[in-house]
Amino acid sequence: MIIAVRIDGRLIHGQVANLWTTKLNITRIMVVDDEVSQSAIEKSGLKLATPAGVKLSVLPYARAAENILAGRYDSQRLLIVAKKPHYLLKLVEAGVPLEEINVGNMSQSDTTTSITRSVNVDEQDVAEFKELNKHGVHLIHQMLPADSAEDFMELLNKKG
């Protein structure tokens, strides 16, 4: 069962590994990223960052969608993590029912615009967030479990 979905450029790190998994009683973290799923080095780093007792899957989006839709995680408490909205939109387009996405952290680059202190987006990200919104996915921004959730589309539209 999908408990939460988070966009975080760092994927698994202190906040995700400790605060979110504990708060939501997560039993499996799924990283959805076609490139990372092909990198043994990145995967071993993610394994090291995953808390003891929590399972980890690092999958390309097509296999992630296939496994979720086949009910492979129905008995588990699943946290899906992606670096950007791209692969989450692909999951939704494949029929995976994502109700809410927490836009936590997206790194700054030469092509990004700052939306919050921790979220920076480029034009493709904006288009993908708008598409997710059209699909009825509720987008929020919440860095830590103790923070209150903000409507991400409102934040995005203010900057747009």
141 is catalytic: no
Contact status, residue 136 vs residue 7, Cβ threshold 8 Å: no
| Other CB atoms within 10 A of residue 95 CB | 9
| Helix ranges, the chain (H) | 14, 21-23, 40-49, 61-69, 85-93, 123-134, 152-159
- Spatial CA neighbour of 140 closest among 113, 119, 123: 119
- Kind of pairing between the strands at 120-121 and 138-141: unpaired
Active centre residues (catalytic):
13
